[in-house]
Amino acid sequence: MKNNTVPEKVKIINKNSGEESNIISLYDTVEQAEPQNEIISIKGLKKSFDKNLILKGINVSFSKGTIAAVMGPNGSGKTTLLKCVLGLVRPEAGEITVNNINIKNNCEYRKFIGYMPQTPRFPENLKVKELIDMLKDVNGNECDYDEELLIKLNLQAIYNKPIGTLSAGTKQRVSGSLSFLFNREIIILDEPTAGLDPVSCEIMKEKIIKEKENGKLIIITSHIVSEVEALADRIVFLLEGNVHVNSTVDELKDRTDESNLNKAIAKIMVNHGS
Amino acid sequence: MAAKKILKYVIFDIMRSRLIITYTLLLLVLSFGIIYLGRDITKATVSLLNIVLLIVPLVSIIFGTIHFYNSQKFIEMLLALPIKRSNIFWAEYLGLAVSLSIGFVIGTGIPLLAYGASVTGVYLLLTGIFLSFIFSGFAFLSAVINKDKAKGIGLSLMIWFYLSILFDGLVLMISLFFNDYPLENVILVLTALNPIDLARVMILLKLDISALMGYTGATFEQFFGSMMGTIFSIGFLLMWITLPALGALRLFNKKNF
């Protein structure tokens, strides 16, 4: 169902000075993503903080109608990678294109992207309603809003509360709803379910799947393997600043001979260590 | 265009914060108190001036720095929208500076008006607005330079301490050590290097009380006469508004969020 017409894609990139690693011997197919569906393409992306190379030349592309999970241990550069796509972090080298627009010195391309940050914080003294109105206002008042999450997560009840009085989880719900509000083609969610209660969590997941079926690209980062397994079509696994694995979930399981994604991922990391 | 819309909400947000309301009330009480106790409005204006020169920069720079750190996540969210970075910066900067100015004008302007302010009173308000803008710029500059909030606030405090206290000491030391030489030009240049001194000179020139003017004021009067002195100081104050703000903008454009 997941990959009805699209052939399974695997792409392994190894940047460690061209050395063959044991991962290459594990996977032998190296294919490009379908060009007609490709919406984000990242080539040779490098970024360092305080002389610490966080991203060491990332090559990866994402296509429409998929849910991609960016995974990796803490500090592997997941958030940095997403922030580079959003233009929040300025990369040192490499090229990112969104809908064939090179994002360097361009801000218009962001009208294709909805973003939910890891820890949302809004102006404390504004009311929820005012925040929503402001965002609509700034976005030029297009009328095609997707208010489904606002309604389902029961946020209309708190429209008149100042944001400063809301709990962390409630802010997370507001933030999540806002990322879907403008019906963007690409939705980037940085740990979307962290801090959400189980009910909201399920609503969120349903929404993610629904929007994928509407042909959107949804990129999530998460540490919760079961969640990734339930949602994602593809896994981009970052390790030490490189794309260590980029494949579909099923393929990852096949290749590692594990039926359990958790174990498959553990195996990848162990293989890397040896 | 988008910047204007953001600006509106930034001002909304700041004007509702407790700190800015406290600041306005504090200024109100102080101004009423000083004018009431001083009886003579001119003398009161001078006393008020000294307080304004101390408090306005301090509140502007500290509140501004804290405000920047608090809005960082929100700025991050705005940056993910199709808006230019520089527009977001100007919206945030103007939002802060305008709110501080409004607070100041209400807090000081109402008492001055109530007791019948002279032209000097108007100049006092003007300098207060200038200082709010200048120190908002410094606030953003030190917040953009430092990722760490504590360091940022530390740097802001140092800037304030240097400009409002240390600098005068330095000028005094120079004039003591080199009092055998003609120092007028040097002092003029030194004054232009400190926005707080400039503001003080601008008001004092208007007051026409040479005894109170001190060294820098007297030199100014001598060199320029009232009119030229005022134009000179306004020109340099404008420079002091643009430089820190543009510096902060440059760094803001390169910053990683």
Kindly tell me if the per-residue pLDDT of A7 is higher than 50.
Answer: no
The rounded mean pLDDT for chain A is: 80
Q: Is the pLDDT of residue B118 over 60?
A: yes
Mean pLDDT of the B82-90 span: 89
Pairwise CB contact (< 8 Å): B80 & A88 = yes
Where does the pLDDT of residue B67 fall: very low under 50, low under 70, confident under 90, or very high at 90 and above? very high
Cβ–Cβ of B13/A113 closer than 8 Å? no
B180-219: pLDDT as tens digits: 887 777 877 888 888 998 888 777 777 666 545 566 666 6
**pLDDT at B222 (0 to 100):** 66
| Mutation choice for B interface testing from A99, A107, A179 by most B CBs within 10 A | A107
Q: Which two tokens stand for residue B54?
A: 């101390």
DSSP A91-103: -SEEEEEETTEE-
Please report, rounded to a whole number, the percentage of residues in chain A having pLDDT higher than 90.
10
Q: Which domain holds residue B86?
A: 2-254
- The domain A22-273 belongs to what CATH superfamily? P-loop containing nucleotide triphosphate hydrolases (3.40.50.300)
pLDDT, tens digit (0-9, with 9 covering 90-100), for B218-253:
666 666 666 777 788 888 899 999 999 999 999 999
Beta-carbon separation of B13 and A125 below 8 A? yes
Q: Judge whether A83 is closer than 8 Å to chain B, CB to CB.
A: yes
DSSP, res A161:
S
Residue A175 C-alpha, separation from nearest chain B C-alpha, in angstroms? 10
pLDDT, greater one: B232 or A161? A161
Q: Are A249 and A229 in contact (CB under 8 A)?
A: yes
Confirm if A247 and A235 have CB atoms less than 8 A apart. yes
pLDDT-derived band at A29 (thresholds 50, 70, 90) equals very low
Distance from CA of B17 to the nearest CA of A (A): 6
> Which of these, A23, A64, A11, lies nearest to A246 by C-alpha position?
A11
Q: From edge to edge, which strands make up the β-sheet containing A186-190?
A: A113-116, A186-190, A217-221, A67-71, A234-239, A242-248
Chain A partners of B85 at a C-beta cutoff of 8 Å? 107
Residue A20: per-residue pLDDT:
42
Tokens of A250: 């099923």
The 10 Å CB-count burial string (b at 16+, else e) for B129-161 is: bbbbbbbbbbbbbbbbebeeeeebbebbeebbe
Measured CA to CA in angstroms, residue B74 lies from A135, A175, B111 at distances of 11, 11, 36
Average pLDDT over residues B114-133: 86
Residue B121 has pLDDT above 80, yes or no: yes
Residue with tokens 């990959």: A3
Measured at the alpha carbon of residue B54, what is the angle toward residues B125 and B227, in degrees to the nearest 5? 45
More confident residue, B66 or A54: B66
Orientation angle between helical segments B119-145 and B85-104, nearest 10 degrees: 140
The percent of residues in chain B predicted with pLDDT above 90, rounded, is 37
CA distance B188 to B206: 18
- Band (pLDDT 50/70/90 cuts) for residue B131 is very high
Chains A and B form CB pairs within 8 A to the count of 78
Question: What confidence tier does B159 reach under pLDDT thresholds 50, 70, 90?
Answer: very high
Domains of chain B: total: 1
Instruction: Name the pLDDT band for A23 (thresholds 50, 70, 90).
Output: very low
